[in-house]
Structure 1
Amino acid sequence: MRFHLVRNCVQSLFKNNLLGELKRLPCRYNHTNLSELEKIRNIGISAHIDSGKTTLTERVLYYTGRIESMHEVRGKDQVGAKMDSMELERQRGITIQSAATYATWKGYNINIIDTPGHVDFTVEVERALRVLDGAILVLCAVGGVQSQTLTVTRQMKRYNVPCIAFINKVDRMSADPYRVIKQIREKVGYNAAFMNIPIGLEGNHKGIVDLITQQAVYFDGQNGEILKYDSIPNDMVAESKEKRQELVEAISNVDDQLGEMFLEEKTPTNEQLMVAIRQACINRKFVPVYTGTALKNKGTQPLLDGVINFLPNPSEVTNFAFIQKGEDQEPEKLEMKSQRDNSNPFVGLAFKLDATRFGQLTYMRIYQGCLKKGDYVYNARTQKKVKVSRLVRMHSNEMQDIEEAYSGDICALFGIDCASGDTFVSERNSSIAMESIYVPEPVISMSIKASSKDSMDNFSKAIQRFTKEDPTFRCEWNNDSKEMIVSGMGELHLEIYGQRMEREYSCPVTLGKPKVAFRESLTRPVKFNYLHKRQSGGAGQYGCVIGLLEPLPIEQNTKIAFSDETSGPNVPKVFVPSIKKGFEEMCEKGPLIGHKVTGVRFRLQDGKHHVVDSSDIAFMLAAQGAMKQAFDDGSWMILEPIMHVEVSAPSEYQGDIIGQITRRNGLLQSTNEIDNYFIANSEIPLNDMFGFATELRSLTQGKGEYTMEYSRYSPSRGEVQRELCDKYRQEMAEAAAAKLSKKN
């Protein structure tokens, strides 16, 4: 009984990180002599989808004492991981929204943001990295460097975020961390080396070898919370020395002091090596690589040591704001001062918005000064004054009220009306603004409509909330197709928002392929001569229009034109505007498929009028009759929008992508190659572009990107016109039959 009691106490102490101080991997710092700012780390955990980010975060929270028990992403207990607080995340087993938390490890405060891995939610990674000082790049020991890994590393480069890497899942079949580190060097271009290597792979994985101290580390206890140190297994001594030498060489290439020692064949001490690794990592010249398996509770504690040893604190990262001088002047750079006091004016950046039952929750990174509950701050963009009524720290979906936050902290505010990327300051009329967050353009659009008219209010509320929270989710009404169009980063992105509308707002929606804004036009001129005459007692209606409807030049095929070529009293000038109005109204719906008529000119050459019965309405109806006559007698064609498409992808996929463009009836205009990437410019009909984003990602393993913009309208192919006309006639017949059955 006593034995079990003592064992449980010891495990608890290790879990809460008290006895862990006695035996641990070396740390450069004497923790007791550091300032409060130097004991802060703001990190993000980023990777390709299904690399184990959320599982790793769950272990971090457990070993730092933030949660009492661990749960799996797809756990049998139906609880799910702490950071996947949304029901859809637990149901699908993926991270949809970035979630913030904080933990304490060996006296250090670590603010953590767990980000999604799917490319459709890339803006969540983008705005997290914008405000973080460092990152953990998680890689799968089987999958290695994958498509989203490359996207994440490009985002880190955009914001100069240093990182350490963690090769996860070394216990899986076909795991090969040595192949993965080779890919890190070759595909990503990082100067990387192992900090530890695994003892055994796949089912034989037992622990790791620390290359700095040259010790074996084993993870005992029910959940791997007890670290046991031992001598390196005999069969790994030679390999561990070789990998340590490889680490020293990698650092010597980017550190002058170690470079000189290497040339003089001197062996650096552990302390010298740690200092050099830290400096090279902060300068983005080196990436320390750790190994382990988060699911089997091995390798997380050394990774946490790497976070506090090698990633920068807020004072070691230079952050700038910009002072706007005037419209014609370049903004002046202002360096933010990271001091844990209120001696400097407050500057903070709102980087993420979330709607809760208490109102809008605004995530904010404080770059300078102090923010206290009850303070008044100003939105630098709108110049509006707002009161900080509630200040909290986030632990996934849980909140802890705090009284104040200082430079380097990540906190959240309630009741602040702002947009993502707004800067907040303590001084009115301040011209300071932080650099905004890069927002990629949407790549896919779909039509959306509420399934019932009763839920339209909730539909409007959902759209308003989601477009405000997520700048890559956009919604607009299309006048041409008379439908609501939503745009986003992929089919999954839009599908998730459709499901959230149903779950959170009780508003089921239907997503579908948006209608293409086709146009109808004449192929050759057609004459018209139409008399509108009506007599029903009293004043009648009389108006006659004579003229020509002709096609405009091809460069004007999106316009309509009206010309009055009459002379004399046959058509009084006072009625010409009504004739023009009748012509324009008839252009709203063409004869072939009911789309707008463009690229035609209505030439009014002659006509007749009656002294008593002619009126504005009579001549407007006459013009409409003339257009109907032209619809019947003329030769009409369908115009379709042609898009200019620029595709960028690694050169190895060039042949496949050109084939894809050709299959979509595209016309290749030019190709060129830059740094092993090729860029293809082509023109493709918009009607053939649906599904291109998904196919491009599949074809290029997610590495391909494309942009699309309107180029011109062009006559559609014969088979396309026949298909559209047949479909329109069928729809009209079905509508007429439904109307008749309803009448009967």
Structure 2
Amino acid sequence: MQNIRNIAIIAHVDHGKTTLVDKILHTCSLFRDNQETGELILDNNDLERERGITIVSKNVSVNYKGTKINIIDTPGHADFGGEVERVLKMADGVLLLVDAFEGPMPQTRFVTQKALALGLKPIVVINKVDKENCRPDEVHEKVFELFFNLEATEEQLDFPTIYGSSKQGWMSTDYTQKTEDILPLLDAVIEHIPAPPVSEGTLQMQITSLDFSKFVGRIAIGRIARGTVTENQPVTLMKKDGKLVRSRIKELYTFEGLGRIRVESVKAGDICAVVGIDGFDIGDTIADFENPEALPVMHIDEPTMNMLFTINNSPFFGKEGKFVTSRHLIERLEKEMEKNLALKVEPTASNDSYLVFGRGILHLSVLIETMRREGYELQVGQPQVIIKEIDGVKCEPIETLIVDVPAETAGKVIELATMRKGELLIMEPKGDLQHLEFEIPSRGIIGLRNSVLTATAGEAIMAHRFKSYEPWKGEISQRSAGVLVSMDKGSSTAYRIDKLQDRGIFFVDPGEEVYEGMIIGEHSRDSDLTVNITEGKQLTNFRTTSKDDATRIAPATKFSLEEAMEYIQSDEYVEVTPQSMRLRKIILRENERLVAAKKKS
């Protein structure tokens, strides 16, 4: 049997996972010398490249010294933890990347906890030792402390450590001795990561990922735990609910480099892709036809947040999108649930609206951004945390928030976090920065990033992860300012924006189309104000010797999708179309809003 190593690369966001995979692919001569590959080869969809993060895990393989190494590149952001949890099932060991300056971060703890619980063998890679102020020895101690706190076994605590720089393309067992390549890392993988365990018995393969081809349909991906799978083999698909479905494997592929090659059979221990099985879900088991035995069902952490997704019913409905009806919306959400295990969808009292549950703002915003690029029009409501009743006590999700800021702005950050029921636990120097750790309700984090970045002139580094459900912390004051709302439909004019600039900050430029009830700016006071920005200047046929002063208009404030989602309140929507993003009141007419507010009070 061919030597195989199955490894997952895990780390906090932006610690260099995908860059390291690039270097491994180049080192193992996967490309011609003159081939243009670019950087971040595995971040191959537009959203990943634009945001500089990994969203979906990827499988590749390389051959080194006669050993096939299957590599799983995983997302680093906490919102995509569901993706990490399921793909770790395919691995026997992990490469844990840690930044030589930042050390273990919240997501490092999360993914490490999952990997250690599955009994995976770790290799610690302390990356970016070329950075100024790096502290490899101190970070190594912090990683050991983290493993100890996560109750790692003695074997896991005896982890090998590799130092280096993914970007510069070198790895070494001693950070003071720079090498020419990353071969010491690959040698460590072969030496320390165990070969996949192979037990005797009939076929067992758990589906941990899926792909789609317009030619063959859905493709099941997973690692064969036991037995051998061959083309045209009859099998039993064992569903999570206990249902058995008879099926047959039509085509079989293994991972070779960046692609897949068709094979006749695959033995236990290898990762493969199976074509021909219908109706499967992630977590189902492909088993023997006559004596099927299921593997344990996967457990994925529950979502912590929900948002209302509804059809676009604004006056600009249907101008830009191809998919605009509630049928289009629910079909797309159901399709997403097939591969996104951390996502849940529930119907509401209205046939046009659905509650979508996810891991966080980024998790949901990536789904919305993907949908708008596919031609969907929709509206989304304010993100809400999921409240639970535990032993008769109302409980809410609490998160660990870590902020690294320049010392002179630490006071402002502490004030902003404590205003949102955050409790300061740790305050210590970290290089030339101040390291702050809080426990804060998930509600308090919504909209906090913008305030912190403003207060620190963009220099704060923020990270957070879910900790536990704890008793309700009380009311949290949200947005401190009201909004400017358009009272009419038409094009905004420079004349009116100029006249109203002392009333607040505008979100629209002159010449933009607006409608009644659309949010066009932020009011300088805490109340909402309805204004007219479509009225032009009254012209006369009298000549005058004095010219009008040229209008000086401040540039409009433009939100990203996540910023807009964090900005809106419970009576507002974000309208998302393929080309535009607008904020609006749910009730468009002012007199109807006033009536609704009176009834509520």
Of the three residues 66, 87, 99, the one matched with 1:140 is 99
1:337-380 residue CA offsets vs partner (Å, 9 max, x unmatched): 436xxxx3111100112333232121111011111111111112
Q: Is the 8 A contact 2:309 2:354 kept in 1?
A: yes
Specify which structure has the higher proportion of helix: 1
Identity of aligned residues (%): 26
How far is the alpha carbon of 1:398 from its aligned partner? 3.0
Q: Given the alignment of the two structures, is residue 355 of structure 1 paired with residue 212 of structure 2, yes or no?
A: yes
The alpha-carbon distance between structure 1 residues 43 and 139, as it changes in their structure 2 partners (threshold 3 A), is: same
Hey, what does 1:579 align to over in structure 2? none
Equivalent in the alignment of 1:303: 185
- 1:394 corresponds to 2:252: no
Which secondary structure state, in structure 2, belongs to the residue aligned with residue 171 of structure 1?
A: coil
Verify the 8 A CA contact 1:362 1:412 in the aligned structure 2. yes
How many Å separate the matches in 2 of 1:515 and 1:703? Answer: 17
Q: CA deviation at 1:710?
A: 10
Q: Who is 1:95 aligned against?
A: 54
The structure-2 alpha-carbon separation of the partners of 1:690 and 1:143, relative to structure 1 and needing over 3 Å to count, comes to closer
Distance 1:149 1:183 in 2: 11
The change in CA–CA distance for 1:127 and 1:490 in structure 2 (over 3 A counts) is same
Structure 2 residue aligned with 1:705: 467
Secondary structure of 1:435's counterpart equals coil
2:7 to 23, 27, 43: 43
CA displacement, residues 488-518 of structure 1 (integer Å, 9 cap, x when unaligned) = 1111111111111123x3214333316999x
- C-alpha root-mean-square deviation of aligned residues, in Å? 4.5
Distance change (3 Å), C-alpha of 1:365 and 1:182: same
Distance 1:477 1:83, change over 3 A: same
Taking structure 1 as reference, are residues 387 and 690 closer, same or farther at Cα in structure 2, changes over 3 Å only? Answer: same
Report the CA distance between 1:161 and its aligned residue.
0.8
Q: 1:393 Cα shift?
A: 2.1
Matched pairs, number: 436
Cα distance change of structure 1 residues 166 and 450 upon mapping to structure 2, 3 Å threshold = same
Tell whether the 8 Å contact from 2:401 to 2:440 is kept in structure 1 after alignment: no
In the TM superposition, residue 100 of structure 1 has moved relative to its aligned partner by 0.3
> C-alpha separation between the residues in 2 aligned to 1:304 and 1:434?
31
Deviation at residue 482 of structure 1 after TM alignment = 6.6
Partner of 1:320: none
Q: Given the alignment, which residue of 367, 375, 399 partners 1:497?
A: 367
* 1:218-239 residue CA offsets vs partner (Å, 9 max, x unmatched): xxxxxxxxxxxxxxxxxxxxxx
Return 505-514 or 158-167, whichever deviates more: 505-514
Equivalence for 1:647: 398
Displacement of 1:68 in angstroms is: 3.2
Check 1:47–1:651 CA distance in 2 against 1; reply closer, same or farther (3 A cut): closer
Q: Deviations over 1:160-216 (max 9, x none)?
A: 11110111111122222122112112334389xxxxxxxxxxxxxxxxxxxxxxxxx
- Counterpart Cα distance in 1 of 2:250 and 2:570: 61
Answer yes or no: is 1:150 the counterpart of 2:109: yes
TM-superposition CA deviations, 1:283-325 (whole Å, max 9, x none): 324110001112111122100000001110013xxxxxxxxxx
C-alpha distance 471-69 of structure 1, shift in aligned 2 (>3 A): farther
8 Å contact from structure 2 (residues 420, 444) kept in 1: yes
Q: In structure 2, what is the equivalent of residue 112 of structure 1? A: 71
Q: Say if 1:696 and 1:116 are closer, same or farther in 2 by CA, change over 3 A.
A: farther
Give the partner amino acid of 1:173: E
Which AA in structure 2 matches 1:90?
R
Contact 1:481 1:515 in 2 (8 A): no
Question: Amino acid of the residue matched to residue 94 of structure 1?
Answer: I
Q: Quickly say closer, same or farther: Cα 1:515–1:141, change in 2 above 3 A.
A: closer
Check whether the contact 1:443–1:707 (CA below 8 A) recurs between aligned residues. no
Distance 1:169 1:657, change over 3 A: closer
Corresponding residue for residue 291 of structure 1: 163
1:479 to 349, 362, 383: 349
Equivalences for residues 79-228 of structure 1 within 5 A: 79-189=38-148
Query: Which position in structure 1 is the counterpart of 2:294?
Result: 433
Contact 2:396 2:469 in 1 (8 A): yes
Residue 295 of structure 1: SS of its match in structure 2?
Answer: coil
Using the TM superposition, give the Cα deviation of residue 460 of structure 1 relative to its aligned residue in structure 2, in angstroms: 3.3
SS in 2 for 1:110: strand
State yes or no: 1:313 paired with 2:158: no
Which of residues 378, 394, 414 in structure 2 aligns to 1:509?
Answer: 378
Q: Secondary structure at the match of 1:418?
A: coil
Unaligned runs of 5+ in 2: 172-181, 387-392, 405-411, 424-436, 453-459, 474-526, 529-568, 573-584, 595-601
How much does 1:133 deviate?
A: 0.5
* 1:449, distance to aligned residue in structure 2 (A): 3.0
With over 3 angstroms needed to count, the CA separation of the structure-2 counterparts of 1:55 and 1:699, relative to structure 1, is: closer
The CA deviation at 1:691 is 2.0
- Match of 1:374, SS? coil
SS of 2:129's equivalent?
A: coil
Pairs within 5 Å for 1:619-638: none
Q: Where does structure 1 lack aligned partners over 5 or more consecutive residues?
A: 1-35, 72-76, 192-253, 255-279, 316-336, 518-641, 669-677, 712-721, 738-744
Normalised to the residue count of structure 1, the TM-score between the two structures is 0.51
CA displacement at 1:409 relative to structure 2: 0.7
Give the corresponding residue for 1:422. Answer: 284
The alignment partner of 2:294 has SS state of: strand
Letter in 2 for 1:63: T
Compare CA radii of gyration and give the structure with the larger one: 1
Residues of 1 paired with 2:401 and 2:593: CA distance? 53
Cα distance in 1 for partners of 2:75, 2:22 equals: 15
Alignment partner of 2:123: what SS?
A: strand
The CA distance in 1 between the partners of 2:450 and 2:255, in whole Å, is 38
1: CA distance, partners of 2:122 / 2:588: 58
| Cα distance change on mapping 1:395 and 1:448 into 2, 3 Å | farther
Deviation, structure 1 residue 643: 4.7
**CA contact under 8 A between 2:30 and 2:257: conserved in structure 1?**
no
Rounded to whole Å, the distance in 2 between the matches of 1:64 and 1:729 is 56
From 238, 254, 267, the equivalent of 1:380 is 238
SS at match of 1:287: coil
Deviations 1:102-146 (A, max 9, x none): 111001111110001111111111112122111111111122211
TM value normalised by structure 2:
0.63
Residue 625 of structure 1 corresponds to none
Contact 2:345 2:354 in 1 (8 A): yes
Q: 1:510–1:312: structure 2 CA closer, same or farther, 3 Å change rule?
A: same
